[in-house]
Amino acid sequence: MDDAKGLRIVMVAAEAAPYAKVGGLGDVVGALPRALEKLGARVAVVIPAYGDATAGAHPAAPCREVPGFDVTLGGVTEPAGIFHAVMPESGVDVYRVASRRYFARAGVYDDPATREGYPDNMERFVFFMKAAVGLVARLTPPFDVIHCHDSHAGLVPGVILENYDRVPALARARTVFTIHNLAYQGVFPREALALAGIAPRRFYPGSPFEFWGKVNFMKAGIALAHAVTTVSPTYAEEVQTPEMGVGLDGVLRERKADLHGIINGIDYGEWNPVSDPLIPARFSALRMEGKAACKKDLLESFGLGATAKRIPLVGMVSRLADQKGFDLVAEAMPRLARLDMQLVVLGTGQQKYHDMLRDIAARYPDRVAVHLGFDNALAHRVEAGCDLFLMPSRYEPCGLNQLYSLRYGTIPVVHRTGGLADTVVPYDGERGTGFSFPDYTADALLRALQDALHAYSDVAAWKRLVRRAMTRNWSWDASARRYLAVYRKGCDEGAAW
């Protein structure tokens, strides 16, 4: 169906799988363009070229259409190399912006040696945004929509308005800004505007760029883009409140008419237990035998022995951070360890949670096992081999792991917030797809897990719950159509954004 036929869209982001991925942003920018292409759009992606763009599993070649060009940052000139590739299994053009000074290093945002953000992140991403706009201005034919993702692309609408308002290729384009996680706003000294080539007169109290005497990339994107989206309907409502707005709730309330909550999808080409090459046995909602084999394999991999009685295996695959609810896990752990369940955790992040999880695994070796690090293949095996998946996030803009879990018949237990509230329907014995708890407390988490364990004890009812969860459709198709509606609203002649 050619819903998007003739529409040209370019996405500007810090990540896009499979080229660069730290979290959910990379998954979205890797999948949404392909879904839009299937609906008839022509889509391109612009990201930084971390490391060596010509090496690795997905090498690129120097771009013939737009050779490299210079970018000026506050009077200093830095060359931008442009490399081109085509996203696998698609016709999506991927342009990678290279810089020896800013991107020829191992990390994306953080230095792997220190696990802290690079001290020159302000300059790195201002360079990227200016180069991205310069690239888009040079590509032909011109784009209808410039879709910017998170703070690392937040100044793009401002750079266009300040420097390219008389360039027809950019002046007619509509800008869309997506908030993936409002907590990471890109707040820097006001010198960031000088680097971006934005006049000092634009910086004043209450302006799109000013935030308590500093420049806020996220605020600029929200205030200046023609439309703003977040990654779930509930999160779109939450960020307009003082409790969840992280200082930008007032700006978001002002954009309420142009603010859209669109739930993320998942790539069923990658996340599908029927065809997943990374799991030891395949299975489906109608043929579940392979899931038992996946559970046996996972227990062995984590060094947990099988138990004499039928008890559930609970999984967590997560960034180890305050947001993800590990403070609740620590508080609840002495009581969790007494429940008839086993727990496996895969993730990396804050050192305090590395230490905490090592200590918990040492104290409960027959109940808890951890793997500290990022391992995509093991993440697939956790989703396939577990019975339950725990996501006690303090807040969660969308979340993807609960969607993967539903697809693999691994029933999610979640804190009822953001996208988790939108995608996990509470189980009532007959209907629903998972378990949730409204209050962010260890007691509430324990009650939800106890409810899940009680449901697990009824073998027949549990099979029905698993089959119902696996047949829910969370593919990108519906989400892509909602994005198209936002694009079309802005591109229709006379649309008032």
How does pLDDT run across 22-69, given as a tens digit for each residue?
888 999 999 999 999 999 999 999 999 999 888 888 899 999 999 999
Residue 328 covered by a domain: yes
Residue 221 covered by a domain: yes
Q: Is the pLDDT of residue 84 over 70?
A: yes
270 versus 80: which is more confidently predicted?
A: 80
Among the listed residues 433, 471, 474, the one whose alpha carbon sits nearest the alpha carbon of residue 284: 471
Residue 282 covered by a domain: no
Do 427 and 300 belong together in one domain? yes
Do 112 and 251 belong together in one domain? yes
The residue segments making up the domain with residue 327 are 289-472
Do 363 and 397 belong together in one domain? yes
Do 243 and 301 belong together in one domain? no
Do 255 and 392 belong together in one domain? no
Q: Which 3 state secondary structure label does DSSP give 280?
A: coil
How does pLDDT run across 133-173, given as a tens digit for each residue?
999 999 999 999 999 999 999 999 999 999 887 888 898 89
Do 108 and 121 belong together in one domain? yes
Any idea what the CATH number is for the domain that residue 36 is in?
3.40.50.2000
Q: Is the pLDDT of residue 104 over 80?
A: yes
Residue 274 covered by a domain: no
Do 412 and 443 belong together in one domain? yes
User: Do residues 266 and 403 lie in contact, with contact meaning Cβ atoms separated by under 8 Å?
Assistant: yes
Helices (DSSP H) in 75-138: which residue ranges?
121-138
Band (pLDDT 50/70/90 cuts) for residue 75 is: confident
Do 193 and 328 belong together in one domain? no
pLDDT of residue 326: 94
Q: Say what angle helices 156-163 and 121-138 make with each other, to 10 degrees.
A: 60
Pairwise CA distance, residues 320 & 352, whole Å? 9
Residue 281 covered by a domain: no
Hey, what are 220's tokens?
């600029």
Residue 411 covered by a domain: yes
Average pLDDT over every residue of 310-331 = 93
Hey, what are 497's tokens?
């954004």
Specify the residue for token string 């035998």.
289
Residue 270 covered by a domain: no
Pairwise CA distance, residues 204 & 335, whole Å? 53
Pairwise CA distance, residues 138 & 158, whole Å? 18
Length of the chain (residues):
497
Pairwise CA distance, residues 131 & 159, whole Å? 10
Q: Is the pLDDT of residue 491 over 70?
A: no
Hey, what are 409's tokens?
């018949």
Interstrand relation of 8-12 and 42-48 (parallel, antiparallel or unpaired): parallel
Do 186 and 81 belong together in one domain? yes
User: Do residues 423 and 415 lie in contact, with contact meaning Cβ atoms separated by under 8 Å?
Assistant: no
How does pLDDT run across 443-475, given as a tens digit for each residue?
999 999 999 999 999 999 999 999 999 999 999
Helices (DSSP H) in 75-188: which residue ranges?
121-138, 156-163, 168-171
How does pLDDT run across 144-154, given as a tens digit for each residue?
999 999 999 99
Distance of CA 241 to the CA centre of its chain: 22
Do 300 and 246 belong together in one domain? no
User: Do residues 44 and 12 lie in contact, with contact meaning Cβ atoms separated by under 8 Å?
Assistant: no
pLDDT of residue 168: 86
Pairwise CA distance, residues 84 & 82, whole Å? 7
Hey, what are 46's tokens?
């612009």
- Paired strand residues for 45: 11, 94
Query: Side by side, which strands form the sheet with 214-216?
Result: 187-188, 214-216, 210-211
How does pLDDT run across 6-22, given as a tens digit for each residue?
899 999 999 999 999 98
Distance of CA 19 to the CA centre of its chain: 14
Do 295 and 166 belong together in one domain? no
How does pLDDT run across 59-72, given as a tens digit for each residue?
999 999 999 999 99
Residue 279 covered by a domain: no
Do 175 and 244 belong together in one domain? yes
Average pLDDT over every residue of 86-111 = 94
Pairwise CA distance, residues 324 & 329, whole Å? 10
Tell me the one-letter amino acid at 239: V
Mean pLDDT of the chain: 93
Q: How many structural domains comprise the chain?
A: 2
Band (pLDDT 50/70/90 cuts) for residue 90 is: very high
Helices (DSSP H) in 139-185: which residue ranges?
156-163, 168-171
